[in-house]
Every structure is written in structure tokens, then in C-alpha cells.
Amino acid sequence: MNGGLTKNPESARPSAEALAVFFRSLAVLFESSVHVSRALELLGRQSDDRRMAAVAADLAARIHSGVSMSQAMALHPMTFTGIQLRLMQIGERTGSVDGILARLAGYEETRRRTTMRVKSALTYPAFLFVMATTMLILVPPFLFEGIFRMIANSGIEPPLITQIVVGISNFIRGPIFWVLLGVGMAVLVIFGPRLVRQPGVEMWLCTTALRIPALGRSLRMLAVSRFARAMELQLEVGETPLRSLELAAQASGNPVLTDRIERAVDGLRDGLTLTQALDRTEFFPRPFIHMLTASEESARTVSMMRRMAEVYESEVEAALDTFTALLEPLVMLVMGVIVGVVVVATMLPMMHLLQNL
């Protein structure tokens, strides 16, 4: 690229923490009367995140070449979202870039806290599930290897359940299983993230997850809280509801809501209120719709969006606690059933052997 400008350095979206630090640092420097290009140069040299440091340096170079901050950010679609670009455009138009940067920093910090809570709540059940699966796959074939060999050499026709367990055990101990496991893990690591990001696959996964009772409620509450937070951020700086809807749905991170928000956009264009339009999506909980109705009647939509974001962020934690509480005994139940099957498959032929002595 000419003019000393670098190519886009990013290949994937940065973490919420990296974005929060970037916007907060930029806001502090800007409020200290440091010119935006100079502030970006400083971030490019001092940032601990290499990717964000490269992005900051590239933004500074582009601003030096005469483009605006929002135009420079638009050239990094894998780093900056549509809502961030829209707010920056509003800040440049109204002369309130410092306020916009502070709001974006607060917004990203809130998203980071919510994301960390979700990850923290899911870490233990995920670890438990992985460990249980690993033990159930690897332990029985090797622990009962001698017993299975004795059964095979006894000359007694084993029951069907024993034949199935012995067959699975032999397959797991054989080389084909380990080759397939290695290839499968490699394919999953290399192509899995790219496959999950495909629109059709992402939509199917999200739709399926939303149907799982406790997990689906958690995901829905998370999407609603992020949507409300993004709507509050845009409406607070003077953006219209019509222009805010699509970006807020994208900010929710839920492809189902992003797909259905078109119904709300069409509803607003047809003259419906924001509440009526959102009700068309059939995604939002009834309490959300009722509170939004009251806020529109009292002209307090922005403050109500903020309040609802806080409420549903708390709901996410409660829903995740419920999901975790349900998942742990379910994993234990599955482990118990599989262990029981292995024990029965082992004891039945042993009893036949004892009877024939």
C-alpha cells in the first residue's frame, strides 16, 4: 500500500478486553488534549496487544494522510464493528468525539464483564464434561482388558451387550481409532472456527442451542442484554431507533435476532412504535416488551434500555447458574449409565463361567 500505510494487520476480531483498553486509553489521551493522531501513535508504540498496536499505528498513518477517524476505522472491519463506526461518525459530526470514545470504552468494558461472567460460569461444567467423556472413552477398554480377553477365550457365547462393549473396547485400543481421533482433532482445530462462522452453520447452531431449556434461556437473556446496551448507547447520542436496530441486533452476537430484526425494521417503516416493532420479532421476553411500552409512554426509552440491560445481565447469571446446576447431575447420570452398562456386560459372562465350573 502506498504512502507508508500498512495493510490491515488483523485476521480475526480482537478480544473485548483489547477493545476496552484501546478505547479507554484513547479517550483518556484525547481528554488530555492530545491530538487523536498523536494519541494513536502513542498507543501503537505502548499497547501490550500487538494486533491493536498495529491497528493504532495504521489508523494514525491514515489520519495523517487526511482521512477522518471513522473512515480509517472503516478500513479495519475485523476490528471495529458497525456500531463503533456509526458512533464515531456521529461524534465527528457533532464535535463530541471525546464523549463518544468514553461511551465506547464503557460499552466495551461492560461487554467484557458480561463475557467473563459467562465464561466463568461455563468453565467448570465444560471441564467436567470433557473429563467425564475422556474417562468413559479411555478407562473401560484398558481397565477391563484382561476380563474381556478372558471372556473371549472362554468359548462361551457372550450376550449381545457384552459383544458390543468388547467390540467398542477393541476398536478404541486399536490403531485406527487413534488415527481417526488425531485426524478429527486436527480438522476440528484447523477448520472448526471457520466452519462455525459460516452463516448457515452459525444459524443452525444458535437455533438448536436456543431450544435447550436452561442454555437457551441463558443465550436469549445474553442477546437481549447486549441488544439493550447497544440501543441505549446509540439512542443516547441522538441516533434514531430505525437506524439503531440493525446495529444493535448485530451487537447482540445472536444470528437469530440479527435475522429477525428485519421484521422490526419493516414495522417501524410501516409506522409502528418501537415496542410494537420489536414484538414482531417474537424473540424478546414479555417483561422486556412491557417495560419498553411503559418507557415509550413516559419518553424515557434511553434510561429504560439501560435499566433493562442491567436487569438482563443479572438474568444471564441466574440462567447460567440454573444450567450449571442441571448439567452436573446430567453428566453424572450419563457416566453412571455407561459404567453400569460396562459392569453388566462384564458380569453376565462371568456369571456364566462360574455356573459352568
- Whether residues 40 and 153 share a domain: the answer is no
Across the 357 residues of the chain, what is the mean pLDDT of every consecutive 10-residue run? 45 77 88 86 85 90 90 91 88 85 86 81 77 71 69 73 79 83 87 78 87 84 91 87 88 89 90 91 91 84 89 83 79 81 79 70
Task: Give the pLDDT of residue 278.
Answer: 92
DSSP letter at 145? H
Do both 151 and 275 map to the same domain?
A: yes
37 and 152 fall within a common domain: no
Say what the pLDDT of residue 1 is. 40
One-letter amino acid identity for 253?
A: G
Domain endpoint, select from 80, 105, 126: 80
Residue 49's domain spans which residues? 16-80
Classify residue 9: in a domain, yes or no.
no
- Looking at the structure, tell me whether residues 43 and 159 fall in a common domain: no
Residue entry with cell 453412571: 336
What is the predicted pLDDT for the residue at 12? 62
Q: What is the pLDDT of residue 7?
A: 46
Q: 346: closest CA among 148, 153, 139, 157?
A: 148
Round to whole Å and give the CA distance between 163 and 151.
10
Residues 122 and 60 in one domain: no
Do residue 189 and residue 61 come from a single domain?
no
Cβ neighbours for 50, distance < 8 A, ≥ 6 positions apart:
none
Boundary of a domain, candidates 36, 62, 80: 80
| pLDDT for the residue 227 | 92
Tell whether pTM > 0.85. Answer: no
Candidates 270, 248, 249; CA nearest to 260 is: 249
Q: Is residue 287 part of a domain?
A: yes
What lies within 8 Å, CB to CB, of 172 at 6+ separation is 137, 138, 141
Are 128 and 273 within one domain?
yes
Does a structural domain hold residue 8? no
In a domain, 158, yes or no: yes
Same domain, 258 and 194: yes
Question: Residues 6 or more apart from 19 whose CB is under 8 A from it?
Answer: 52, 79, 108
pLDDT, position 73:
92
Contact between 288 and 273 (Cβ < 8 Å) = no
Residue 66 placed within a domain? yes
The answer on 150 and 30 residing in a single domain is: no
Please compute, for residue 315, the number of CA atoms within 13 A of its CA located in the half-sphere on the CB side: 22
How many domains, the chain?
Answer: 2
* 193 is a domain residue: yes
> Is 86 inside a domain boundary?
no
Q: Is 105 a member of any domain?
A: no
Helix, strand, coil tally for the chain in percent (to 5) = 80, 0, 20
Pair (53, 135) in one structural domain: no
Are 145 and 60 in contact by the 8 Å Cβ rule? The answer is no
Helices (H) and strands (E) in the chain, counts: 16, 0
Statement to judge: residues 191 and 301 lie in one domain = yes
274 near 301, Cβ under 8 Å? Answer: yes
Q: Quick one: 58 and 166 in the same domain? A: no
Q: Which amino acid is at 42?
A: L
- Distance between CA atoms of residues 37 and 43, nearest Å: 10
Last residue of a domain, one of 36, 56, 80: 80
Give the integer Cα–Cα distance in Å for 273 and 234. 17
| CA separation for the pair 132, 124 (Å, rounded) | 12
pLDDT given for residue 62 in this prediction: 92
